[in-house]
Structures are given as C-alpha cells and as structure tokens.
Amino acid sequence: MATRIAVVTGGNKGIGFGIVRELCGNFDGKVYLTARDEGRGRAAIEELSKVGLSAHFHQLDVDDAESIANLADYIKKTYGGFDVLVNNAAIAYKNAATEPFAEQAENTIRVNYFGTLAVCHALFPLLRPHARVATVSSSCGHLSRINGSEPQATALRNKFGSPTLTEQELGDLMNQFIIKAKEGTWKEAGWPNSTYVVSKVGVSALTRIQQRAFDADQRPDMVVNSCHPGYVDTDMTSHRGPMTIKQGAVCPSYLAMLPPDIKEPRGAYLWHDKQVVDWVNGSTPSIV
C-alpha cells in the first residue's frame, strides 16, 4: 500500500494550521503543511512537534505558477500521487482597507479563485482513487450573498447556480466582476459590495463543477466539497470571531477524511456543524 498523503494550503496559521493539526492526529498517512513563507511554515511544523504531532513542509504560494508546479512535481516524483487536498489559502482585505475597490477585486479574485483553481489544475491529475478534496469557503460564499441591484443580481445568481455551469463560464463571471469593479459599476451590474464574497461564491460554485468532473472520472470515488468553517478568531477576522481555531477546523477536516464510497456529501456546501446547506435555493443558518 502506498503511503497516504494529505496536503493543506495556507497551513502555517489560523484555520489552515488547525486543519493540519487535526489531520496529524487523525489521518492515516503523511500530512503536508504548505505556506508561502518557508520560515513561517517550518516554525508551524516546530509548534506541532512540541505537542507530539508530526507534519511535513513544502513551500506553496497559490499566486505563483512556479511554486504550484514545484509542489506538483515533488508529489509526483516522491509519492506518485496523493489522497487529500484541503484548499484553505486565501486573502481578505480589512473593512478599513484604503486600496481602491478595483484593486481589491483584482487581487482577491486572482488569489482566492484563480489561485485555488490553478492548484486544482496542477494537483488533481495526481489524486488517487477515493481522493477527498475540501475547499474552505465561507458564510460569504453562499449564493444568496450575490445581492447587488435587481434584477441583475437574480440573473447572476441564476448563472452561478446553473447545474450546467462550466469552469470557463465561471471564470468569465469572475473576470466580469473585475471589469465592473474597474468601471465602478459593480453594484448596478448586480454584484455585492465585497470582493471577498465574490471570490468565495466562486470557489463554492467551482466545487459543484469539480464534483461533476469527478463523477465522470475513471478514478473511482472522487469527492470534493466546500464549507463555511465558522466565524473563527483568526488574523483574517481581526480576532472578532467567537469560535476557536480548533472549532473552525472541524468541518474542513471532516470533509478531508470522509470514508470510502460515501454517497453524500458530494459537491456540496456545508456549514461548520457539518450540515449540508442548499447552496442554490436555500438560506444560510446563523452566521456564527
């Protein structure tokens, strides 16, 4: 039996670090903590070792094509493939950020959506049968958060929620938002007043597309889901979240370790309590 391998992006702090810690204690195999900064990544590995947990490090910047290629090459040459991918790496501008909205839109969508997509493109071919992919979305990633001017917002939601939406069409939607942000007409076009919301709706929608592709894949039992991990006390939330990092790691870790041949969830959007939420027509539970 080949050694089972799990990879967590953005794993040196916050929820990503919590997920690595959870996997180290429960995943039957090697866990790779990845981070943009090697020093911070190796410091996180050392923190885990202090509590008796063993993780491995590899540098990964989801916004750097060469970095992504290096990780893919390493996994292929060292292990031939891997079993679990947790897409956690993301950025978020603070409410008080002074950068122009257009700049925030371009950077946030590039990293959170297109960076995640690039990692998937590079690593999905290396996934072994029965692989599990967990993408950390957000309460902001529910389709109902596309709530700009009507009827344009309804038209956008219909496009995002289409069961036949393609990856190309989704990428076009992401780029359309950036264009409208640069024009200063994003609200009138139906988009919300948050670049982070659009990026997370994007990765939630991508999950649904990816599961359809997995269902048609020759490799059996490939599963991808996204989740809202909860409003967690991290740097990203300016430490306003009431939930602990350990609590925030629960649902992503659960999705990363779903048992073989599970019927559901598959291509779903889950809340932090592991509840499957209707992403297209439903509403979100409490925002905690």
**Tokens matching residue 82:** 């891997």
Sign of CA dihedral 29, 76, 212, 216: negative
Question: What is residue 96's predicted lDDT score, i.e. its pLDDT?
Answer: 85
**Tokens matching residue 198:** 């659009």
Q: In which order are the strands placed within the sheet that holds 30-35?
A: 56-59, 30-35, 5-8, 82-87, 127-136, 223-227, 269-270, 276-277
Residue 235 confidence class, pLDDT cut points 50, 70, 90: low
93 noted as active-site residue: no
Catalytic site residue from 79, 113, 196, 231: 196
pLDDT tens digit sequence for 111-135: 999 999 999 999 999 999 999 999 9
pLDDT tens digit sequence for 26-41: 999 999 999 999 999 9
Report the amino acid identity of residue 151: P
Beta strand 30-35 with 5-8: parallel, antiparallel or unpaired? parallel
What dihedral angle (degrees, nearest 10) is formed by the CA atoms of 233, 197, 266, 260? -30
Least confident window among 94-98, 136-140, 188-192, 214-218: 94-98
Question: What is residue 151's predicted lDDT score, i.e. its pLDDT?
Answer: 97
Q: Which domains does the chain have, with CATH numbers?
A: 5-277 (3.40.50.720)
Flag whether pLDDT at 284 surpasses 60: yes
For helices 167-183 and 101-108, angle between their N-to-C axes, nearest 10 degrees: 160
- First-to-final CA distance of the chain: 41
Instruction: Answer for the pair 101, 164: CB distance below 8 angstroms, yes or no.
Output: no
Flag whether pLDDT at 240 surpasses 60: yes
| 205 Cβ contact list (under 8 Å, min separation 6) | 143, 160, 161, 165, 170
Distance CA 203, CA 169 (A): 13
Beta strand segments in the chain, E: 5-8, 30-35, 56-59, 82-87, 127-136, 223-227, 269-270, 276-277
Q: How many CA atoms lie within 13 Å of 123's alpha carbon, on the beta-carbon side?
A: 30
Q: Is 280 exposed, middle or buried (0-12, 13-18, 19+ CB in 10 A)?
A: middle
